Amino acid sequence: MKKGTLTLSDFRPFLMLVAGWAGLCVAGCSGNVEQRAPADRVVLQLKWSHQAQFAGFYTASAKGFYREEGIDPVFLEGGAGVDSTAALQSGKAQFAVLAPEQILIGHTENISLTAISVIFRKSAVVYVAHAGSGIVRPSDFLGKTVACRDVAGSVKDFEFQFFAMMNILKLPLNTVRMVPFEYDHQGFIDTSVDVTPTYSINGAIKLKRKGLKLQMIWPDDYGVHCFSDTLAAMPDVLEKNPDLVYRFLKASLRGWRYALGNPDEAVDITMAYVRNKDRSFQAEMMEALAPLVHTGEDHIGWMREKDWTDFIRLLEKQKVLKKAIADPKQVYTLRFLEQIYKGTKP
């Protein structure tokens, strides 16, 4: 070898160093690209303020179920003064938890909403009387004062379920003194009201905590079969981004299944969201809602055409809807539930 001539062996240490740098760069860059891949920000408008009523959604977030589906969830509180339907129309939220009657009323007012899953397969509405009052069934409402009137337009389910129950049993309404519903149940507490509707997952718990002994009268026992919290979206969201709908619903239902199977953990997760930091209250709510969500029928979140048809006819009969809805399939779709539970992707 001539003096000053370089060979490959002379470059070997340098080449190994360069190769090492390149390897680090590739590994680091590929890792950063994966981390930088943005998750889809999805906004869910809740029906009410943060509470165990929505534990399945919180659980899906805390356990990483949304993250696994590439979703970054945001939960907006609902409540008095919050128009959940408007949140969907404006695009502020992609999904909302609505009462099914909101969806149906919207259709009769040219507001297209589509249900993709029913979370509460049974309604939480219950009519309560004081234990020992002798009021144990709807026929005992005759001659009594019942706080079932919806004057604010926010508790339609209390009113129409009352009328439906009385009509099915052919009980004369003119013998019942119907007064406006009170959120604080004060008339019922001071006994100026004999019967009040409430929600088994909330109001009934509060009344019991005041030391009141309650007689519970369930409309479902008398032929009024209603459901409640329903996941809905605008039709254009379903058509333009079906993969997002599939992923969001899949993670949400997985969250609900986990929450029902692990209620104590679900309550712990819920406590990070709620304003009412009374854990025992949230635990009682979780216990009360479990049989409404997991009824033992079909899958969690499932929907049946008969349930929608019967509910529509009930609302039409009670004149809650301004016009008839001829085809129930206008208001709901099984497309995403079938994909999730049959294991097929969109």
Tens of pLDDT, residues 224-250: 999 999 999 999 999 999 999 999 999
Strand partners, 217: 127
Mean pLDDT rounded to a whole number for the chain: 89
Whole-number Å distance between alpha carbons of 67 and 36: 13
Structure tokens at 311: 């509910």
- pLDDT tens digits, residue range 57-81? 999 999 999 999 999 999 999 988 8
- Model confidence, pTM: 0.87
Residue 39: DSSP 8-state: P
Is residue 334 within 8 Å of residue 107, measured between CB atoms?
no
Q: How much is the pLDDT for 154?
A: 61
Dihedral class, residue 100 (left if φ above 0, else alpha if ψ from -120 to 50, else beta):
alpha
* Structural domains of the chain in order of their starting residue, each with its CATH number: 40-122+227-341 (3.40.190.10), 125-222 (3.40.190.10)
Q: Is pLDDT of 204 > 50?
A: yes
Q: Where are the beta strands (DSSP E) in the chain?
A: 40-45, 71-76, 95-98, 114-118, 125-130, 145-149, 177-180, 195-199, 214-217, 230-233
**Look-up of token digits 């090492």:** 20
Q: Is 332 helix (H, G, I), strand (E, B) or coil?
A: strand
Length of the chain: 346
Q: What is the pLDDT of residue 22?
A: 40
8-state DSSP, 136: -
Alpha-carbon distance of 26 to 36, in angstroms, equals: 15
Q: Which phi and psi angles does 116 have, rounded to 5°? A: -110, -10
Within a 13 Å sphere around the CA of 345, how many CA atoms are in the beta-carbon half?
Answer: 5
Q: For residue 74, what pLDDT is reported?
A: 98
Partners of 180 in the β-ladder: 149
Query: Which pLDDT belongs to residue 135?
Result: 98
Rounded CA gap, 327 and 312, in Å?
Answer: 10
The tokens describing 173, both together, are: 């309404």
